[in-house]
Chain A
Amino acid sequence: MALLEIKHVFKFFGGLAALSDVVCSAEQGKILGLIGPNGSGKTTLFNCITGYYPPSKGEVVFKGQRINGLQPDRVCKLGMARTWQKVRPLAKLTVLDNVMVGALARTNSLKVAREAAMEQLKMVRMERKAHYLAGSLSIGERKKLEVARVLATQAELLLLDEVMGGLNTVESEEIIQLILDIKKRGLTQMVIEHDMKAIMRISDRIVVLNSGEKLAEGSPQQVVENPAVVTAYLGDANVA
């Protein structure tokens, strides 16, 4: 069953079509990879889904409900949460407090939130850093903190925007394991990633965007063998 359906979504900034006629869907419990060259509209699509900008045309349907134009906080309450490509830790709060802010979306009790937050910190293996200030973390830890915070909101659909960007191989491997662990819990994920090796490994399906249009969709194998995708990434072989 499709948890999230994106139906013919357009987004215009002035005359520029940042997204045009994008159709895709995230299946329950699966990982949908989203790739494309820089400026192809991946993050814009996330922004349209999570309510940061309303789509100019088209529909976003989550759990059978149309969510176009809902504010991000409402979208989060419905069970969808995102991380940020440029990480946004609440720098002057501790790591635990950061995750608690996420957990408080589902409870009014600080005690319940604290326990839930600690559980998510264990999930991302950061419980030892619980009382550090979020601003003091390394980039790898910040990315994990983002994931823990999103998990704490009890989201059913996680939108992960380049959670491996800027990480070394060891840290990337940790994140890959984390994403696979999250999948084992039955949660659905949409993942933007530039690391092709990683995205091939984790995705069940991949959507390729180019200049705001969907270029290809299919299993990782189908996508790498698609000549249009190769051209988009490496340029036309005939020209060179």
Chain B
Amino acid sequence: MTGACHLKALGPKVLSSLRGSPGRWWLVIAVVVAALLAFPQTMSSPYGLHLMILLFLSVAMGESWNVIGGYCGQYSVGHAAYFGVGSYATLMLLQYKHVAPWWGVWAALVAALVVSLLIGTICFRLRGPYFVLASIAVAEIIRLIVLNWKPFTNGAEGILLADIPALKLGDRVITDWLSKTPFYYLGLALALTTLLVNYLVQHSKLGYYLQAIREDQDAAHSLGINLSLYKNVALAISALFTALSGIFYGLYIGFIDPPSVLGVDLSVQMVLICIIGGIGTNFGPVVGALVLVPLSEALRANILTKLLFAAGVVKESSAVGGFLKENLAHAHVLIYGILVVVVILFMPDGVLGFTKKLVARGARQLSAAPQPLVGGLRGPTGD
């Protein structure tokens, strides 16, 4: 084997040696988690921490949606409802009733659970695109209620959090919530928990049943699966962790209003994280968050203009350069949208699925004889 060929083969080889052995995957995960735990000690810039917190939040949102959308195939585009209900319940209790968030969380989770069962009972009567539309409609109803019920929710003005009481264990102050570090660890815990929940769902009877429902509802029904029960269980799990993400968001940012925690764009964001990363897979939402969060931050920071200047395509002092510098940053949502469309067009299984396909192709080129992969090329009967 030549040197070049050897190098080219190395990537797939490493990955395929990992694929077969769960033990080694656990090692990789342990190293990553250890690095993430140590990260705040080495990172002095608050923006770096902020970016990581956003990433954790996106992972948690994506993984939460993945339970109902990815495994069960029920594409809810109304998940902002749970996010908003969670954050509103916690922040309202904290701001108006002075209930500490670690108690308020429980009330918020109950509220989200009730809302999810309500939405599930209504929307799961519908299938496919009709379910999607109904989920959007119900979430919009909740947004409008919050927006217009001024005496209760403070309407469009939203809730600006004054401060979070210090968390004490006995007399010892654990955190006063003034720096970003406690939120970093809270976010990390949230992201890891949702990841674990997805893993547990996938490797259980529930996961098998949800995937059966996704693939063919009628067939699933005939095999003894109670459709409305399992769909509602999946939605409830998904809603609880979406609400936790919302609570985390509200406490971290310290300000919520209907557009920021109940808007349709937030619901779409959760769906996108999964679709971009790889829907219905354990690590898809992680990949999606890793792609989308830095991308959106970089575009907001006008990285395209900076790249064009650095490459010498456009001069900063020229008229075009001035125009781009002024205006391209404003177009970040547009560019973000175009990039998302491109990914969906060329990677229908998401970035994770695309990478797996590349790895599989690399592995196939390695071995001289073509191997029957999953979905291999055999005769019609095969035996």
**Residues of chain A having any CB pair with chain B under 8 Å:** 50, 52, 71-73, 76-77, 81-82, 84, 88-94, 97, 100-102, 104-105, 108, 110, 113, 125, 128-129, 131-133, 135-136, 138-141, 149, 153, 170-171
Contacts and interface: CB of A to CB of B under 8 A. Distances in A.
Nearest to B380: A138
A79 to B, nearest CB: 10
Contacts of A135: 375
A149 B222 CA distance: 10
B380 A73 contact: no
Contacts of B56: none
B252 interface: no
Contacts of A93: 211-212, 215
B381 A81 contact: no
Nearest to B203: A110
B381 A171 contact: yes
Contacts of B211: 90, 92-93, 97
Nearest to B382: A129
A73 B380 CA distance: 32
B227 interface: yes
The 5 closest A-B pairs by CB, nearest first: A105-B224, A136-B375, A90-B215, A76-B224, A88-B219
B151 interface: no
A135 B211 CA distance: 14
Name which of B214, B220, B222 has the most chain A CB atoms within 10 A of its CB.
B222
A138 B381 contact: yes
Contacts of A113: 205, 208
A81 B208 contact: no
B218 interface: yes
28 contacts: A50-B222, A72-B221, A72-B222, A77-B224, A81-B224, A84-B222, A90-B211, A90-B216, A92-B214, A93-B215, A97-B211, A100-B208, A101-B212, A101-B220, A101-B223, A104-B205, A104-B209, A105-B225, A110-B203, A128-B383, A133-B375, A135-B375, A136-B374, A136-B375, A138-B381, A141-B380, A141-B382, A171-B381
Nearest to A149: B223
A90 B212 contact: yes
B312 interface: no
Name which of A100, A104, A125, A149 has the most chain B CB atoms within 10 A of its CB.
A104
Nearest to B375: A136
B380 to A, nearest CB: 4
A71 B208 CA distance: 20
B204 A110 contact: yes
Name which of A52, A89, A102, A135 has the most chain B CB atoms within 10 A of its CB.
A102
Contacts of A110: 203-205, 208
A91 B208 CA distance: 13
A84 B223 CA distance: 12
Contacts of A76: 222-224
Given A93-B211, A105-B225, A170-B381, 5 more contacts: A90-B219, A110-B208, A128-B382, A132-B376, A141-B380
A50 B216 CA distance: 17
A108 B205 contact: yes
Contact of B218 (A88, A100, A140, A153): A88
A132 B375 contact: yes
B226 interface: yes
Contacts of A104: 205, 208-209, 224
A67 to B, nearest CB: 14
Contacts of B219: 84, 88-90
Contact of B208 (A92, A101, A153): A101
Contact of A102 (B214, B223, B382): B223
Given A101-B208, A171-B381, A132 B374 contact: yes
Contacts of B376: 132, 136
Contacts of A84: 218-219, 222
Nearest to A108: B205
A171 to B, nearest CB: 7
B216 A88 contact: yes
Contact of A140 (B215, B216, B374, B381): B381
Nearest to B218: A88
B381 A141 contact: yes
Contacts of B214: 92
Contacts of A100: 208
A149 B382 CA distance: 19
B225 A73 contact: yes
A61 to B, nearest CB: 20
A73 B214 CA distance: 16
Contact of A105 (B223, B380, B382, B383): B223
